[in-house]
Structure 1
């Protein structure tokens, strides 16, 4: 089974092209933060991704751009080739089977400072809950 699930951010807006048959192809680079970081090592891994057909069209319709956080489900494939000078190049790419947005539109990945649905938060980080809302809380 070849299944690859990653969560990360787009490095730039996907490049969307159409084949001669009219099939959409979206190519993009995807950054995934490393959970454990050692001194002198990169903090993220970068993956080349490609999506075909309706999935690629969705990237275009949704104006998916740089910094958008996504969950990608796909397959890892070899992208090996020999150039015109006979030099063998090795690489990997992720073929996107599906994706999901991990943040709401316009989100920067961080909650706005002092924001809560009930008003601003206090300096101690707790939000101000208005009087009379006790009936709406599920644990009363």
Structure 2
């Protein structure tokens, strides 16, 4: 059996990177996915006839090189495809209450929209065709 997840959506939170004491870089961002709302087996529509969408938020975690690429080239609103695995965590908070969390550990992230422009060492802006992967 395998633990595989594939999500396509929009980045909802600017990626943030931190380093562990051991030097591992960890990048986190949120991803919004949407699906049509159903009621009694039919798609729900608003007063203008548009489909009503339900949005779900996912916490995405990437490590080291993949995380660095995401941190440098992704921004809020970009469309990405994340392939990875579901990871559940359990911890006890300061009040002694058991807490649970779920995140997606990214193995690959494909850019589905243009990446943010970054400035190179010569002061010129580069776009996605110039990024070395």
User: Could you tell me the TM-score, scaled by structure 1's length?
Assistant: 0.67
Contact 2:32 2:56 in 1 (8 A): yes
Partner of 1:21: 22
Partner of 2:111: 101
Partner of 2:129: none
Partner of 1:137: none
CA RMSD of aligned residues (A): 1.8
Q: Give 4+ residue runs of structure 1 displaced > 6 Å after superposition.
A: none
Paired residue total: 103
- Unaligned residue ranges in structure 1 (runs of 5+): 107-140
Partner of 1:85: 95
- In the alignment, which of 50, 61, 67 is matched to residue 77 of structure 2? 67
Contact 2:26 2:63 in 1 (8 A): yes
Aligned pairs (5 A) from 1:123-138: none
Aligned pairs (5 A) from 1:109-120: none
Deviation, 1:90, is 1.8
SS at match of 1:91: strand
* Structure with bigger RCO (C-alpha 8 Å, 6+ apart): 2
- Unaligned residue ranges in structure 2 (runs of 5+): 39-43, 45-51, 117-133
Of Structure 1 and Structure 2, the greater strand share is in 2
Partner of 2:66: 55
Post-superposition CA distance 1:54-96 (Å, at most 9, x none): 111111232x110000000010011221112121112211001
